[in-house]
Amino acid sequence: MEVRVKICGLTRPQDAILAEELGADAIGVVVFSDSPRNVSAERAEEIFSSVGPFLSTVAVTHTGSAMNLLRILALNPDAIQISHGFSGVQNVKIIRVLTPSDPLRADCNAVVIDGSRGKGIPFDWEYARQTIQNSTVPVILAGGLDPSNVREAIDYLRPYAVDVASGVESAPGIKDPEKMEKFLRAVRDREDL
């Protein structure tokens, strides 16, 4: 079973380029949020432009503003990861954020279990198991994943994808090349079993 990997919370083009070189499937850039990894729309565009056409780009936001959503759409990401209930968004894939208090969603292309929102707080394993078992759309795991535990999460839960931010950083928004490589190796080596 191939599990996809998203490296999230990128703030620098060089980290995006490295994620692509190491074999990540997607990168996430945080915009219009109160995250320490938040970047301007201009910086997000620079990061997205630094990678090739076969790496998926995801704009991650916690905004509730329709105006900000329009500015995000102008960046032409492959997907938008949102926490609020926007509907009717067209011409882009939607990833909806779920926390243990949220019901399942089917009005999207995928859901991400992410109560952590980049803080490194581990996801709820039982909620994740139930969500993966019952969801009609692909489920992405996020929250507290790092090179030491991602393999266990994949083996036990069998998600569509895993999403990491703080687990591969030396500081908020600054990716550690060695941690990124170890994380991707842990995911890919698991697939060879």
Q: What confidence tens digit (pLDDT) does each residue in 127-158 have?
A: 999 999 999 999 999 989 999 999 999 999 99
Instruction: Give me the CATH number covering residue 182.
Output: 3.20.20.70
What confidence score (pLDDT) does residue 193 get? 38
The percent of residues above 70 in pLDDT, for the chain, comes to: 94
Task: Give the range of the structural domain holding residue 20, as residue numbers without chain letter.
Answer: 4-191
pLDDT higher than threshold 50 for residue 125: yes
What confidence score (pLDDT) does residue 3 get? 96
What confidence score (pLDDT) does residue 83 get? 83
Q: Tell me the per-residue pLDDT of 94-123, one tens digit each, with 9 for 90 and over.
A: 999 998 888 898 899 999 998 666 566 778
What confidence score (pLDDT) does residue 100 get? 86
Which pLDDT band holds residue 189 (cuts at 50, 70, 90)? confident
Which pLDDT band holds residue 124 (cuts at 50, 70, 90)? confident
What confidence score (pLDDT) does residue 116 get? 62
In angstroms, the CA 79 to CA 93 distance is 4
Identify residue 145 by its one-letter amino acid code.
Answer: L
In angstroms, the CA 30 to CA 8 distance is 8
pLDDT higher than threshold 80 for residue 87: no
Q: Tell me the per-residue pLDDT of 34-68, one tens digit each, with 9 for 90 and over.
A: 889 999 999 999 999 999 999 999 999 989 898 99
DSSP the chain: ---EEEE----SHHHHHHHHHHT-SEEEEEBSSSSTT-B-HHHHHHHHHTS-TTSEEEEEE----HHHHHHHHTT--SEEEESS------SSEEEEEE-TTSPP--SSSEEEE-SSTTS-PPP-HHHHHHHHHH-SS-EEEESS--TTTHHHHHHHH--SEEEESGGGEEETTEE-HHHHHHHHHHHHHHHT-
Lowest mean pLDDT among 16-20, 88-92, 102-106, 135-139: 88-92
In angstroms, the CA 109 to CA 183 distance is 25
What confidence score (pLDDT) does residue 178 get? 98
How many domains does the chain fold into? 1
What confidence score (pLDDT) does residue 118 get? 57
Say if CB 174 and CB 18 are below 8 A apart: no
